[in-house]
Amino acid sequence: MSDKIRIAVVGANGAFGMKHLDGLANIDDAEVTVVAATSQEKADAVASKYGVANAVVGLEAVLERDDVDAVILATPTGLHASQTQAVLAAGKHVQVEIPLADSLADAEATLAAAEASDRVAMVGHTRRFNPSHQLVHDRIQAGEFNVQQMDVQTYFFRRTNTNAKGEKRSWTDHLLWHHAAHTVDLFAYQAGKIVQANAIQGPIHPDLGIAMDMSIQLKSESGAICTLSLSFNNDGPFGTFFRYIGDTATYVARYDDLFDGKDEQIDVSDVAVSMNGIELQDREFIAAIREGREPNSSLRQVIDCYRVLGQLEEQLA
């Protein structure tokens, strides 16, 4: 291994591929040696923008290279499980964007591959790393705050098959296996193992083939509850907003920013070395590789999230 961890970003031309490239540019211990996209033209454009020496098409072209220690997968959801397994089989470390898989069977198979490997295997559950949620987690760990209830809204206006950049894509997003995964994992991370879960969904979109509205209720072993509302029909401000109602305070988290119950902003600038949750996620990946340890948000740590999603899918069926 060179002095720096040599990284390949696959799916580099997508919205989250570029978010990772932005974050990696601030990490001295990382070097992006190759970017991969679905066409040479797209790969070349990203490589030029970020000053990366090598641009290739597809994951296979990455795995055969000897100048790659680790791979970040920012590819379509349906490829996550098989590609994660392929990266591990090639003897490289892997961070896969959320979700790990779009079925419980694929998630369990990928965990088995990770446990059979000596490589770092991590999932991009960014909410664990956002400074806003980190501050709440630190106060929970210090015994200063306990979650009684979380109320979460995940709202988008997405009635066509487009990505976060507004570009057409070939795969379909999913409220349960993608967007709910953020909150299911975060709730367990903040309040303890989930022991009860219920879900209902609205009509299936005739073209996209997915539910456009969904409601999920969760209860943790601590007795805390969570209500999650998700929609692709929201014609207004979009994103995910978290309200923590606890025994000593109320917090409202909006991505990397945090507010109290009176909507006064809380300074989280000293929580971590960056205010960028994606960068902090990538820093953890690089540090775990360098230190030879399990990362926060490893496959083992997040698998319970996918087991809950599997239970909810059975209910919705």
Structure tokens at 48: 């030029």
Bridge partners (DSSP) of residue 204 are 211
Q: Residue 257 pLDDT > 50, yes or no?
A: yes
Give the integer Cα–Cα distance in Å for 106 and 287: 27
Count how many Cα atoms sit within 13 Å of the Cα of residue 127 in the half-sphere of its side chain: 25
**Helix, strand or coil for residue 212?**
coil
Q: Residue 1 pLDDT > 90, yes or no?
A: no
Q: Which of 276, 191, 183 is nearest to 225 (CA)?
A: 191
Q: Give pLDDT tens digits for 136-186.
A: 999 999 999 999 999 999 999 877 666 555 666 565 678 999 999 999 999
User: How many percent of the chain have pLDDT more than 70?
Assistant: 95
Contact 69, 58 (CB under 8 A): no
Structure tokens at 220: 């943790």
- Please provide the distance, in angstroms rounded to a whole number, between the alpha carbons at the two ends of the chain: 48
Q: How many CB atoms lie within 10 A of CB 282?
A: 28
Sign of CA dihedral 311, 313, 316, 317: negative
Q: Give pLDDT tens digits for 69-81.
A: 999 999 999 999 9
Give the integer Cα–Cα distance in Å for 150 and 225: 6
Q: Give pLDDT tens digits for 260-299.
A: 999 999 999 999 999 999 999 999 999 999 999 999 999 9
Domains in the chain, CATH or no CATH each = 5-125+277-296 (3.40.50.720), 128-275+306-316 (3.30.360.10)
